[in-house]
Amino acid sequence: MNYPNHLEELRTNFVNQITDILENQSRSQRYAADNIQLTHDVCIDIVQKLKTGLNFTSHNDGKLAMNNAMSDCDRLDKSLTLLFDQYKRQQTVARTKIQEVIVEFNRALKSLSSVLIEKDLLERQSKVLESIILSHENVTQWKEFVQNILLDFHAIFPFNFFYITFAEEKGVSLFLYILGEYSPEILLEARQKLCQQVLDSIGLPKDSAVDVEEFKIHCKHSNFVGKDLDMNMISVPVSVVDKATNLSGLLGVSYASHQRISPQEESVIRAILSVMVMVVGSSKVLSRALMELEYYSVHDPLTGLYNRRQFNDVLNYEVGRCERHYHEFCVLMLDIDNFKDINDSYGHATGDDALRAVAEILNRNIRKEDLCARIGGDEFAIILIETNARSGQIIADTIAKMLRETQLTSTQCDSFHLTVSIGVSSFPQDAKTANELMVSGDDAMYRVKSLGKDGVFLVEQIEDRINIRETRTQVEELRCALQENRIVPYYQSIVDCKTGEVMAFETLARLKTLEGETRSASVFIETIEKYGLSRDLDRAMIQNSLIAKRNLIKANAPEANAKIFLNLSVQEIQGRGILGFAEELCQQMEVPPEKIVFELLERDAIGDMTNMRKFLNNLRAKGFSFALDDFGSGYNSFHYLRDLHFEYVKIDGEFVRNIMNSKLDYALVHNLSRLCQDIGMLTIAEFVENEEILLALQDMGINYVQGYHIGMPVSEMRMTEKKR
């Protein structure tokens, strides 16, 4: 068996000393036996000599025998004296050795008592440690969890008080657990002394404010008996690293001076405290983290308002509640006007400050039972409990007025104001479900936008509510159609006005319904543009058209040499990603960019002249061409023709179709054609619907034509009969 060094030394000394004692004892016994035998032999010899002397008749002989016997007695006496002296010395040595053994034994017992813990104490310690189990319930209710641990802890050591203290940014918190019953005077004194000792331990000023929370635990053998309360503490620092809150603290027990603890008890107490330090510290941090997670699961982290998830839950609950009790309520849908300009002009930090300011104004104008939420970037929603539409309008007007009058400041110290568009939807008058309430409120809000923003609109004021709902349904149908690839390209030929040869095909979108019908783009294009689906439509048309073009090239079909005219939305051009998308597709499909002509409406082309010029330069650098659609419909045509250059100009079909009936339209088309020819742009006339119009366009010198008379839109690119 291996022993610690100091115990091994004690064991060796003890064994050596016991061996010496036993060895001395053996020597003493042998020496005594030898002396006893010698004495016995001498005594027999003396007795024999005495008997012999008595038998002598001669006086001299008898006297000599007696003298010899006396001499032997004298020698025996001296030998016995020496024997007893030696015996005394050995006894002295033996006593000294025994005393040394006793001292070493006492030293060994003391050493063992300082490092060994009784089996019963260990079992009780294990019982306490086994009860320390982290769980969601124990973490969230860690104060009660500590109470349960202390009951088992108290069975090992009947202490009087247990405390936990945390020093945080907001101050010092002391959680004081009182075990047993004490008088108010004792409790007051204990509280004061503990606070002072705790502040000293964590290095804070004596006058620091301490927030004390007390818990009483009923248990036996903890009552304090005595007049003076001399508090003793055993504490361990709470080693918690929480950078977000700078959390630190102290954990320990306190007991009155009349109680004494053994080294074993103190060792167990410190072991348990060390475990509880980790448990309490971790529980404190985890509890706070769980509380934050629970908070942010239903709140917006920027504004502190409820988030969309919580808003939807409460809205659905309110619909059900009001259905059962025949109550009414209303929903306000709010959108900040031109909020993007705030971010672009002053930066996102100012934008965030503005959102927080809006949230504060909204909170000030609703009741406690109402709910305000941020449901999007700059979109907010309010549920007004048991409020009709007219009352909701009053609240909405108040909010709009306060926002309009509130002066905000940017990070550059520039002042600005915000306005908001608000739609008011009521239950059950305007909608019967949560989704319908939000949709109708959105419709009313967007009606404010269309009327100039900064205002309030009620759903009941919308005259074409049925059409709006139908449009919403159509939006979802169009989204599904795009995802299912049911919006497909049809191709209408563009032919040379003089030779009748096909120069290009314009890609036109067609919707394939679930019933198998084919619908023209005129039915859905306005909805596509209004609800931000233009980019998805553009990319679907480009990809499908290039796939068809690749197949024609691989088949070496005659249509492979024709160009493709692809319509672009202004959103796609502003996104700046279409050229890269088209260029990558051309590489994948092995379609030359020279075969692609992008087409944009005149009204969209003149919206941003600077960016349009850059876009056209990049477009041509990649090998693509550009066509201006509906030329002549704009009011500033000649101005941008001077600044921009287009490969193709498509004259507005509304002028073309009436050239045989209107001298004004004929003159406009003729002059627009001459203008484009003079500045080197090729012209395309749309809406060519009969032979008479075609002949007139030939006379004017139009380069290319398209229309129903030239060729109907079809699902595949194919050559048509030449029109001469």
pLDDT digits (tens, 9 = 90+) for 212-232: 888 888 776 555 544 555 666
What single string gives the DSSP state of each residue in 495-530?
A: EETTT--EEEEEEEEEEE-TTS-EEEGGGTHHHHHH
- 8 Å CB contact between 713 and 686: no
Residues 421, 583: Cα–Cα separation, whole Å: 41
- 8 Å CB contact between 665 and 706: no
Is the pLDDT assigned to residue 64 strictly greater than 80?
A: no
SS3 720: coil
- CB-based burial, 408-417: b 16+ in 10 Å, e otherwise: bebeeeeeee
Higher pLDDT, 297 or 204: 297
E strand segments, 245-324: 248-256
pLDDT, tens digit (0-9, with 9 covering 90-100), for 537-572: 888 999 999 999 999 999 889 888 899 999 888 766
What single string gives the DSSP state of each residue in 182-239?
A: --HHHHHHHHHHHHHHHHHHTT--TT--EEEEEEEE--SS----SSS--EEEEEEEE-
Q: Which is it for the CA torsion 287, 293, 294, 296, positive or negative?
A: positive
What single string gives the DSSP state of each residue in 571-604?
A: HHHHHT-HHHHHHHHHHHHT--GGGEEEEEEHHH
Residues 434, 331: Cα–Cα separation, whole Å: 10
- pTM exceeds 0.85 for this model: no
**What local confidence, expressed as pLDDT, does residue 224 receive?**
52
**What local confidence, expressed as pLDDT, does residue 2 receive?**
46
Rounded mean pLDDT of 370-375?
94
Residues 280, 240: Cα–Cα separation, whole Å: 9
SS3 272: helix
Count CA within 13 A, CB hemisphere, residue 55.
6
| 567 burial type by CB count under 10 A (0-12 exposed, 13-18 middle, 19+ buried) | buried
Residues 627, 623: Cα–Cα separation, whole Å: 14
Tokens at 232, concatenated? 């003793």
pLDDT, tens digit (0-9, with 9 covering 90-100), for 21-42: 777 777 767 767 776 777 767 7
**What local confidence, expressed as pLDDT, does residue 471 receive?**
64
Rounded mean pLDDT of 32-58?
67
Region of residue 712 (phi > 0: left; psi between -120 and 50: alpha; otherwise: beta): beta
**What local confidence, expressed as pLDDT, does residue 345 receive?**
86
Q: What percent of the chain has pLDDT over 90?
A: 26
- CB-based burial, 250-262: b 16+ in 10 Å, e otherwise: bbbbbbbeeeebe
Region of residue 161 (phi > 0: left; psi between -120 and 50: alpha; otherwise: beta): beta
- 8 Å CB contact between 627 and 684: yes
pLDDT, tens digit (0-9, with 9 covering 90-100), for 84-110: 777 677 777 777 777 777 677 667 666
In single-letter form, the type of residue at position 547 comes to: I
**What local confidence, expressed as pLDDT, does residue 181 receive?**
80
Tokens at 273, concatenated? 């405290």
Confidence of residue 242 (pLDDT cuts 50, 70, 90): very low
Q: How many residues are listed for the chain in this entry?
A: 724
pLDDT, tens digit (0-9, with 9 covering 90-100), for 122-177: 666 666 666 666 566 665 666 777 777 777 777 766 777 777 777 766 677 778 88
- 8 Å CB contact between 304 and 374: no
Task: Average the pLDDT over each of 70-74, 416-420, 592-596, 661-665 and give the range with the smallest value.
Answer: 70-74
Tokens at 705, concatenated? 């034509």
**What local confidence, expressed as pLDDT, does residue 127 receive?**
65
Query: CA 665, 714, 582: angle at the middle one, nearest 5?
Result: 90
